[in-house]
Amino acid sequence: MSSILIAGLPAEGHVGPLLAIAEHLVARGDAVRFLTGARFADKVQATGATFLKLPADVEVDEDITQLTERHPERARLKGAKAVAFDIEHVFAGPAKAEYDALKAAIAMQPADVVFADTGFLGASLLLGHPRVARPAVVMCSITPLPLESPDVAPFGLGLPPARVLNRPRNRALTALTRRAMSGAQQILDQQHRLLHGKPIPFTLFNWGRQADALIHLTVPSFEYPMADAPANLHFVGPLCAHSSPPPLPDWWSELDGRRPVVHVTQGTVANVDYSQTIGPTLQALADDDVLMVVATGGRPLDTLPPLPANARAATFLPYDELLPRTSVYVTNGGYGGVHYALRHGVPIVATGGKEDKPEVGARVAWSGAGRRIRSEHPSPRDLRRAIHAVLNEPRYRATSVRIAAEIAAAPGFAGVAAIVDAVTQTRCTPTTPTQARKRSPKIAAPGANRP
């Protein structure tokens, strides 16, 4: 039995995947503690893990939706500028307080392994100690990989690998992005110097390369290949925690296969402004021979715009029942929801958004699993064109089905457990990835740069 300390940035998309890991590790007999914000206490305890509360001053600025309310200028930012703002205010700023909370938890009860999500930069400061003087640190990538590499554009720009001059483009963009991120990097350097007497020896995007293991919750077909992929990188596939499915709505019998089902959702966080995805989809397909199924992600149904005759809605839906009946999944780019669709072989139309959503949409198009619309507020016309393309062109469904098979073959929780055992049995970084890449890292895969 290992002593596991999980640390999650207190935001839904960060904590959710870590809850699945906590549940599995508890079930196999590990002693699991979970450090995150107070609003996740009940969810943590439901996994069987012990809840540890982050300090209130750390929790305040880590809810990105609240951040936007406090800093209205954030809503106007896009691309690298938006990423730079978030990293400085949400990720880099609280890192020292997160580190202090980790150290206090370890002092209270020693840990063999610290699991931290991509944005919990306090764990990167823990790496400043020699391996013999700290627990193993495992970064869990709950977004598309943010690593710097000459083979990929900087994280946040939503740019797939270029067909020509890819590396020169990426080198130039990385130089520009580093300048844009200099404020956040300076904050992290100052905190590292305070703790360890020197600036942090890597860029904040590359801290996963320094971890004892880097777990990525996807499969190689949905991630850009990198010739310099680190040896500590392990693809385990998407993970889901057990939960009771919501009840079936009274209109469920209409999902009888007579009409294609188009499911549209904006997830559980970025679901306030329906003009991003749900509203224009309802307008786009109102006169078509399809059945639109809307999930509000918990918001009351009376907050929706008027539903056309061919639309049905619920706050939550049982995805394992719905997605096998779904022809197209329309989303604003939530990473977890996209993987749920891919798990069932459902092709995707992804619209634009903030945070990691441009990167998710770019990978949907690059992989060939669907179409991407770059706008955060797409027109009904553009949505209708993209949805009908995905409905009528078999290649999108075929690619999603292939990725579904790859997900089914991924090591999943067994891969996570194997990594835990490896890093607790050695003071060195594991060097054998659990799932090797299947494509050359030097060329874009088929489907790259599709619209």
- Flag whether 53 is in a domain: yes
User: 103: which 2 tokens?
Assistant: 């150290």
Q: Are residues 352 and 416 in the same domain?
A: no
Is the pLDDT at 441 greater than 50? The verdict is no
Q: Are residues 157 and 289 in the same domain?
A: no
Q: Are residues 32 and 175 in the same domain?
A: yes
Task: Report angle CA 275, 277, 279 to the nearest 5 degrees.
Answer: 50
Task: Let me know: does 4 contact 20? Beta carbons within 8 Å.
Answer: no
Count of domains for the chain: 2
What's the average model confidence in pLDDT over 269-288? 91
Q: How does DSSP assign 71-85, residue by residue?
A: -GGGGG--HHHHHHH
Q: Are residues 195 and 54 in the same domain?
A: yes
- Flag whether 167 is in a domain: yes
Q: Are residues 135 and 84 in the same domain?
A: yes
The rounded distance, in Å, linking the Cα atoms of 130 and 423 is 14
- Flag whether 314 is in a domain: yes
Q: Are residues 383 and 419 in the same domain?
A: no
Q: Are residues 161 and 26 in the same domain?
A: yes
Please give the radius of gyration of the chain, using alpha carbons only, rounded to the nearest integer.
21
- Flag whether 436 is in a domain: no
pLDDT tens across 115-163, in order?
999 999 999 999 999 999 999 999 999 999 999 999 999 998 899 999 9
pLDDT tens across 225-264, in order?
999 999 999 999 999 877 778 899 999 999 999 999 999 9
Q: Are residues 218 and 89 in the same domain?
A: yes
- Flag whether 127 is in a domain: yes
pLDDT tens across 362-417, in order?
999 999 999 999 988 999 999 999 999 999 999 999 999 999 999 999 999 999 99
CATH number of the domain to which 277 belongs: 3.40.50.2000
Could you tell me which of 409, 279, 401, 295 has the C-alpha nearest to residue 348? 401
- Flag whether 336 is in a domain: yes
User: 295: which 2 tokens?
Assistant: 């999930």
Tell me which residue range forms the domain holding 390: 252-405
The rounded distance, in Å, linking the Cα atoms of 5 and 210 is 18
The DSSP bridge partners found for residue 34 are: 6, 51
Q: Are residues 26 and 158 in the same domain?
A: yes
pLDDT tens across 329-360, in order?
999 989 999 999 999 999 999 998 777 899 99
Q: Are residues 206 and 74 in the same domain?
A: yes
- Flag whether 445 is in a domain: no
Q: Are residues 129 and 97 in the same domain?
A: yes
- Flag whether 351 is in a domain: yes
Residue found by looking up tokens 């640190």 in the block = 137
Give residue 62's pLDDT band: very low, low, confident or very high (50, 70, 90): very low
The 3-state DSSP class for residue 425 equals: coil
Q: Are residues 261 and 343 in the same domain?
A: yes
Give the contacts of 348 (CB within 8 A, at least 6 positions apart).
Answer: 328, 329, 330, 331, 338, 341, 342, 364, 369, 370, 371, 390, 396, 400
Give the contacts of 49 (CB within 8 A, at least 6 positions apart).
Answer: 6, 22, 23, 25, 26, 32, 33, 34
